[in-house]
Amino acid sequence: MVVGAMIGVAVPAAARANGAFPDSQSVLTPADQPQQIILATNFGVIQSMDAGATWLWSCETDANAYGSLYQLAPPPRDRLFTLANQALAYSDDDTCSWKTAGGTLAALPVTDAYVDPNNADHVLAIGAPSSVYSLFESMDGGATFGPALYTAAADTSIYGVEIAQSDPMTIYVAMISATAAPMLARSTDGGAHFTVNDLSADLGPGWLRIIAVDPEDPARVLLRFLDLNDGESLALTTDGGVRASKPVTVSGGFTSFVRLPSGTMLVGATTVNGSTVGPALFRSRDRGASFAQLPGAPSIRALSQRDGIAYAAADNFDDGFALGTSADEGETWQALLQYNQVDGILPCVASRCRAACQTEVDIGLWPQDVCGAAATGDGGIGGNPATDGCGCAVTADANPVPVSVVVLVLVLVFVRRRYRGGGP
């Protein structure tokens, strides 16, 4: 079942091949690379290696076209993953090149993946051959996957997987039955055995996704629940999925999550009030037991953090920035990047991306200088120019008008992506 609603708004005449307008998707702030910031968008990846002084862009390739769910493996591997074309793709050279996961996962549509926060070699992914969903495991950093670790019943769909940071043997799998019962499966022996709990008595019928396992308590899990009857909720279990509560319910949907070093949680959302659609930001200082809404939030697409500074991927056009930061736990936000501040193309993909770069110029996204000679200097990242085609193609109008786009996809987005957020 797919339920969606689109709000009609004024938009530029230009649109991409996939019908999407330029927008941010994910923000990543690797802990061991204190100067690096990665902003994944629907037209490629923008990154800085000097804390935002300069920004370089790489277009999509065939391997990461229409990529989503970007995430980083822990150091020292720092492998960058994305789900693209129903496959799991990864890059070891800051997007200069991409490879696709092989083994048993090679021929399967992949719906979600999660990298063990303690072990960069350990990756879990959900594959769905036909209508049967299975959980697969990789022990070589996501390059290849072995036999199914767990297979759901034929009438049950798996929508998310996560490993507890404080106990790597604890694995959670979020599922929904044919009768729309939300279920949370838990393994405490690394996936050898799972106990499945039906949470419909506490939550009602609907879809369940995992937001995050508490980094100190493997039995405490924050969940995202799409109620078939009453909007979308944050759900919390403190006993490994036996019981659950709903501390916050909104009429729209949740978009993002981050936990700061202080323990404070920030959750971004889109809310609907009659015909009015707007952004919202919720904050919890009691480990998710309760949340308070913060005023004046930007339209947050994704959250991350480093050293207590929150990073938010936002609406470049409505908010005035594509990436912003907050040093006061979400009270206020400062612009860090607008798309028109991109300095150039990543040197290792200059030849491959120049044509796609010109397309962005044509729709007024950034100045012509970005597509000139490949940028060099502190922001440059070495590598050999790739020759494969870019997955970005558009028709363009050189005179765009401001964008005010809100797409509220209550189920399609819900079932296809995990929270675009930062870790503990």
Return the half-sphere exposure (C-beta side, CA atoms, 13 A cut-off) of residue 12: 23
Q: For the residues 279-301, what does the mean pLDDT come to?
A: 97
Question: Rounded to the nearest 5 degrees, what angle is found at the Cα of 315, between the Cα atoms of 311 and 319?
Answer: 90
Domain count for the chain, please give it: 1
Domain assignment present for residue 390? The answer is no
Give the pLDDT score at 372. Answer: 85
- Report yes or no: 47 and 95 within 8 Å, Cβ to Cβ: yes
Neighbour-count burial for 97-128, b at 16+ CB within 10 Å, e otherwise:
bbebbbbbbeebebbbbbbbbeebbbbbbbbb
Question: Domain with 141 in it: what CATH number?
Answer: 2.130.10.10
| pLDDT tens digit sequence for 348-373 | 999 999 999 999 999 999 999 999 84
Number of C-beta neighbours around residue 295 at 10 A: 7
Q: For the residues 240-264, what does the mean pLDDT come to?
A: 96
Q: Bridge partners of 322? A: none
Domain assignment present for residue 394? The answer is no
Q: For the residues 393-400, what does the mean pLDDT come to?
A: 34
Tokens 């323990």 belong to 263
Domain assignment present for residue 356? The answer is no
Report the side by side order of strands in the sheet with 206-213. Answer: 206-213, 221-227, 232-237, 245-250
| pLDDT tens digit sequence for 300-311 | 999 999 999 999
Q: State residue 219 phi and psi, 5-degree precision.
A: -90, -5
Return the half-sphere exposure (C-beta side, CA atoms, 13 A cut-off) of residue 289: 5
Closest CA to 337 of 322, 325, 326, 317: 322
| pLDDT tens digit sequence for 84-123 | 999 999 999 999 999 999 999 998 999 999 999 999 999 9
Domain assignment present for residue 277? The answer is yes
Domain assignment present for residue 33? The answer is yes
Structural domain containing residue 230: 5-341+403-416
Domain assignment present for residue 321? The answer is yes
CA–CA separation, 89 and 82 (whole Å): 5
Six token digits for residue 69: 């769910």
Domain assignment present for residue 360? The answer is no
Task: Give the chain's length.
Answer: 424
Q: What is the rounded average pLDDT for all residues in the chain?
A: 86
Q: Bridge partners of 232? A: 226, 250
| pLDDT tens digit sequence for 38-64 | 999 999 999 999 999 999 999 999 999
Domain assignment present for residue 362? The answer is no
* Region of residue 55 (left: phi > 0; alpha: psi -120 to 50; beta: else): beta
